[in-house]
Amino acid sequence: MELFFLGTGSGVPSKERNVSSLVLRMLEERGTTWVFDCGEGTQQQILNTTIRPRRIEAIFITHLHGDHIYGLPGLLSSRSFQGGESPVTVYGPRGLKEYIDISLRLSGTHLRYPLYVEEVEEGLLFEDKQFIVEAVRLEHGLESFGYLLKEKDQLGELLPSRLQELGIQPGPLYQQIKSRPETELEDGRIIRREDVTGPPKKGRKVAVLGDTRCLPELADTLKGFDVLVHEATFASDQEEMAYNYFHSTVKQAASLAKEAGVKELILNHISSRYQGKAVQQLLAEARDIFPNTTISKDFYQHYIPRNHGGG
């Protein structure tokens, strides 16, 4: 599981940062890619990576400001020409379906794959055997959401030494034992899976928040998350401006991460007013409060290791 930042700026593109787009690659987990926001130039950024649009399974739009959606019709269209045939579901606020429908219709675009658009409300978006995805409402000029990704716990590793102690030699029976809660052997013995596997592998939790004012009340919701991606449009001394423009400061994002007890904070949506040494100053401000902080930049890749053991 890896976060790949394609655009980390706010408002308009700059020489150093493109506008918002973030990819979560889960090639090992499910062979697919999820995209969060799709600002202008997203597919151009993709050309400089090993990301394959045909692997895109879901796109999550946080809100409908242009710097988060102007690249979406182009990416959907290009995916057809790049061999994409599997379905794509796009999640986002009310109005997203109209925007996509009009863009594709007026441009005469015909997709070669099924496209589904789900306009979201706060709460559960979907659940499958691997993940639970929820939307949480934020506070911005337009309706804005954050997305909470919760990987389900996985079975622990099968313990061959324990099986061999029971007189069970390696073979197809091992897979059968792992796939069932209980397995009856030919001699009538019952082998319980929990007795011959290691501790479960704890699922990872990732929160990707869209543009928002600081919301300290989210701390309880975010408790125990492995990674929090939070906007930091303004420096710590610009709280009034951040509030007026429905954004957050570096200090506010770091304080939320500390209060929630997340493992890692990645700051995103950086204003073009901050470049070079100014960005390092932002990072220093955040680390004074929450040491395990990173400021994203375009093409930054962040690996999220699997949690081992229970608890």
Give me the helix-helix angle, 250-260 and 277-289, nearest 10°: 30
DSSP 201: B
Annotated binding site: which residue ranges? 63, 65, 67-68, 140, 211, 269
Tell me the C-alpha distance between 72 and 143, whole Å.
Answer: 18
**229 SS3 class:** strand
At residue 75, what are phi and psi to the nearest 5 degrees?
A: -65, -45
Residue carrying the six token digits 């055997």: 129
Which residues are known catalytic residues? 67
AA identity, residue 174:
Y
**Which tokens belong to 112?**
């070669």
Cα 175 → chain centroid: 31
Q: Distance from CA of residue 69 to its chain's centroid?
A: 17
Residue 271's nearest CA partner among 14, 5, 9, 22 is 9
Cα–Cα nearest to 61, from 122, 155, 125, 147: 147
Binding-site annotation: residue ranges for Zn(2+):
63, 65, 67-68, 140, 211, 269
Distance between CA atoms of residues 66 and 50, nearest Å: 26
DSSP letter, residue 236: T
